[in-house]
Structure formats: C-alpha cells, structure tokens
C-alpha cells in the first residue's frame, strides 16, 4: 500500500519516515489564503482554529488527488494532507514569517499555555475508483517555560527556526528547551498526529502496519 504526502513540510515527512513510512511527496498548489478568505466570507466571520486546519488539510489533499492520476495513474494507496495552527488567548496564528512577529509571539507565549491544532485528511485512492476520504482534527496543549528570558527569545528568533513553524516554536528541535509540557499526541504539535492518521487509515480499511516499508 503506497502513501502520498500532500505537503512540503519537512517535519511531516520526518514524522512519516520515523513511523516507518516512505511517502511519495507531492506538494499541493492550494492558495491557503484564498481558501481561508472564501470560507470566512461564506461564514460571515472567522472560523475556529479546528475548522481552519481541517478546511486547509482537506483542500491540500483534494488538490493533490485531483492531479495524481495524471502523473501516477497506477497509484493505489493513501493520500495524506495536513495543516497546523496555534491558538493563544483566543487568537489563531500560523507561521510568523518575520523576526518581529516571532518575538512578539514569544513575549505573549512566555509562561502561557496555547493549543496547537493539526487537521488531517486521508483519502483512499485506487485507479478508476472515486477516492474515499476520512478526516479529523487533533489538538495538543503546549505550555511554555515561564523563565524564558528576552535574551533567549532573541537568540531563538535569530536562528530563524520560529519564523516558519505554525506556533513560532518546535517541540522537537531548538524550541524544545522552552516547552515544559505537552498534553495530547506530541506528533500533533510537530505537524500531524500519527495516532490520528492510524485511526483514519483504519476507517478506510487500511491497517497502519501494512504501510510500513512499502516503496513509494
């Protein structure tokens, strides 16, 4: 059983590889801002973080499935899409992208507890058969070390790591020293909940361990 990862995220790829799966990586071409803006316009107001990550995970996976048959007509397996966002004090955040935004985020996160939401969309794709989807949101509460100093924040931001990750922190790299507690599946924070992916694969009739070691 093959697996296609519809993501450019190095962390999502790392998670699957560490979990015994070597996926075919096919980035989606979804305009996340456009998808989000359309959903907000339709709702007439902001979406919750769990709604947003599911909307975007499903959009990315569907986009890749749409183009897969042309490039991989014999693909028979699972396509996995994901999206992650961070909620703190009622506000929803994605990647900071700038050092200023990352530093401002850390000033708010210091000593606080936020929630990292990851959306998952898994589709069972077979040649000549309409795809079948299973999807879910996982969330993990993350508590930040109370004693992170301004100097540590400046040094961390200067590495560039926090600029391109949903919560402006990682739990599995440089940011890990500043995280004192994670409640929930830790892989949810990294980018995809492996336990959620296993459940979704099961709903599609696929045994997770059958995905181990398959060539992509």
Which positions are catalytic? 83
Cα separation of 43 and 130, whole Å?
A: 29
**Judged by CB, which is closer to ligand GTP: 60, or 105?**
60
**Judged by CB, which is closer to ligand GTP: 8, or 209?**
8
Contact criterion met (CB below 8 Å) for 122 and 138? no
Nearest in space to 158 (alpha carbons), one of 87, 116, 106: 106
For the bound state, the minimum distance from the C-beta of residue 204 to ligand GTP, rounded and expressed in Å, comes to: 20
**Judged by CB, which is closer to ligand GTP: 134, or 165?**
165
For the bound state, the minimum distance from the C-beta of residue 183 to ligand GTP, rounded and expressed in Å, comes to: 14
| Binding region for ligand GTP (CB under 6 A) | 7-9, 11-12, 27, 60, 82-84, 95, 165-167, 170-173, 189-191
For the bound state, the minimum distance from the C-beta of residue 27 to ligand GTP, rounded and expressed in Å, comes to: 5
- Tell me which residue has its CB nearest to ligand GTP: 191
Pairing of strands 2-5, 24-25: parallel
Question: 9 pairs with which residues across the strands?
Answer: none
SS (H, E, C) 47-72: CCHHHHHHHHHHHHHHHHHHHHHHHC
């Amino acid at each position: 059983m093959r697996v296609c990862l519809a993501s450019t995220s190095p962390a999502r790829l790392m998670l699957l590889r560490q979990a015994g799966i070597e996926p075919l990586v096919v980035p989606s071409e979804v305009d996340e801002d456009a998808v989000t803006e359309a959903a907000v316009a339709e709702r007439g107001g902001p979406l919750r973080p769990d709604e947003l990550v599911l909307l975007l995970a499903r959009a990315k996976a569907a986009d890749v499935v749409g183009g897969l048959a042309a490039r991989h007509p014999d693909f028979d397996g699972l396509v996995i899409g994901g999206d992650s966002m961070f909620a703190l004090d009622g506000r929803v955040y994605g990647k900071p992208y700038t050092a200023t935004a990352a530093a401002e985020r850390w000033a708010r996160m210091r000593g606080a507890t936020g929630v990292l939401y990851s959306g998952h969309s898994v589709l069972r794709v077979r040649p000549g058969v309409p795809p079948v989807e299973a999807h879910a949101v996982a969330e993990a509460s993350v508590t930040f070390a109370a004693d992170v100093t301004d100097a540590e924040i400046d040094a961390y931001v200067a590495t560039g790591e926090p600029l391109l990750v949903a919560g402006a922190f990682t739990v599995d790299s440089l940011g890990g020293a500043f995280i004192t507690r994670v409640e929930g599946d830790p892989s949810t924070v990294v980018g995809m909940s492996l336990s959620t992916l296993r459940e979704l694969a099961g709903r599609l009739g696929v045994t997770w361990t059958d995905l181990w070691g398959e060539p992509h």
